[in-house]
Amino acid sequence: MLTFLWKFTFSNVLIISCCHNYVDNLDKPAIAKYFNTKGRYEEVNLHLIKDILAVNRSILQPPSANCQEIHLTAIIRHGTRYPTIKNVKEMKQLYNIVLHNASGQESWLHEIQTQWTMWYTEDMDDMTEAAFYLCAYEFAIKAVNSPWCQLFDEDDAKFTILTGVCCCFRNDVSHGGNPNIPAIAKYFSTKGRYEEVNPYLIEDILAVNRSILQPPSAQCREIHATAIIRHGTRYPTSKNVNKMKKLYELVKSRASGKESWLREIQTQWTMWYSEDMDGRLVQKGVNDHKHLAIRLFVQEVENNPSALSEVDKFKEGPEMRRFAIKTVNSPWCQLFDEVDAQVLEYANDLKQFWKRAFGYDINSKSSCILFHDVSGQQVTEAVTVQVGHAETLLPLLTLLGFFKDSDALTSTNYDTQTQRSFRTSHMLPYAANLVLVLYDCGGGDLRLQPLLNEKPVTFPGLTDQQASMPLYQDVKDHYRELLQGCDFETECQLFKSPA
């Protein structure tokens, strides 16, 4: 089978297509346990297949009956999600090759060619972001309260900025204040107008707020000013224009309802953004800098320099989706036997090992801030939850020393790595989680229990401690070097000043 895979160099696409289609028990692909970061959470907790809410209480045995949980920290990966646009394109390409060029008598091939249909679409990628951008750009560039803005209320806007995902579209938005300004304008992040951070400029674009600077003495005078300034208002990039076009076509051709904003979009609004705009400054962007120059330098340097600091990137792509995907044992899965799957799993593990894990020391040091945040939590609440990605968890697990084998994974030692502990299929399925439970066992006896995917694990280097629940102080002592050092700025400083 692998000859076919390598010939078309689509092995990763196939395993994605396969692993997004399965059911439990006998209809489950035999290779499901090798799906790396595309695996179901149930594959690492098989008891959940029969009862998704089952809790295996037998795995936790505190050292004393007096122990009780007093705090829990959980770091959780997002749940099962659709493939990315990039992977959908590759899957479509492979499907067309198999549909039109493959020959043979295999039943799985016949099923793919006659029964299976390509149901994955590029619009499974997040459309909420496109709608949010349409609202933001329409306001920033044209100063209009676009009908696109009425898809959101304030809570939706906040949620979109934080996660890149919105749970629903709204049609009951009420606008307070100026009806020409979208109620969610202050949540446009990097797509917002400068006026939203300095509202007094709405009435007078050249106004200078002299009250915010109070020099310590009347003798103080300006002798120099340095300003770091971002570009002014600009058109969306070609990438975002394509997203907007896709959303517009979907709304225009498929959306139904009686809402006024929907009718306006479908009958009056036209898609005027084009790819050749690709990030170019609009006239307002030119004026943004002219007005700023007048306020900063012509009117003396008495404006607010901190207002010029802004976040540079919006979190892109579909994030933390909460959808279930078809559960069928797809004919794509029958392209592989178990040996094939083990080879593909190793190839993916090899990539993760060198890109995000033990391959290079800097990989794990990128998690210094997260480790300090987790370990430095004040126990004021019962639970602390942070949600991220496989790329969040793996560097942290590496930093703590989990799943480190005696020999590094290389391209030449596959045969000797069959029993390796570094297996992303086990460590990082969808919804993977690292949980740290702090116990108070009485008399000042505090203990820390780590669990990965709801299973107890042992802190590396503390295996002589009672079970998997070492003394909290011993954990802090063990990781003292990381707690006191592991400075992100130092680790990521590429060029050091000469001594």
Which candidate in 71, 231, 289, 426 is catalytic? Answer: 231
Q: 456 pairs with which residues across the strands?
A: 451
CA 210 to chain centre: 41
Phi, psi (deg, nearest 5) at residue 437: -110, 125
Q: How large is the C-alpha radius of gyration of the chain?
A: 28
Which pLDDT value is given to residue 8? Answer: 32
Question: Parallel, antiparallel, or unpaired for β 383-388 and 433-440?
Answer: unpaired
Question: What topology is assigned to 53-82+335-489 in CATH?
Answer: Rossmann fold (3.40.50)
Which pLDDT value is given to residue 348? Answer: 80
Determine the length of the chain. 499
The answer to whether 447 and 68 have CB atoms below 8 angstroms apart is no
CATH 3.40.50.1240 in the chain, residues? Answer: 53-82+335-489
Which pLDDT value is given to residue 402? Answer: 93
Q: Going along 337-468, which residue ranges are E strands? A: 383-388, 433-440, 446-452, 455-456
Which pLDDT value is given to residue 183? Answer: 66
Residue 478 designated active-site: no
Query: Apex CA 397: angle with CA 85 and CA 352, to 5°?
Result: 40
Measured distance CA(11)–CA(48) in Å, rounded: 29
Q: What is the DSSP letter of 246?
A: H
Residues of the chain with pLDDT under 70: 1-27, 123-177, 179-180, 182-192, 197, 210-231, 289, 292-293, 295-341, 376-383, 465-468, 487-499
Which pLDDT value is given to residue 493? Answer: 64
Which pLDDT value is given to residue 389? Answer: 78
Which pLDDT value is given to residue 340? Answer: 67
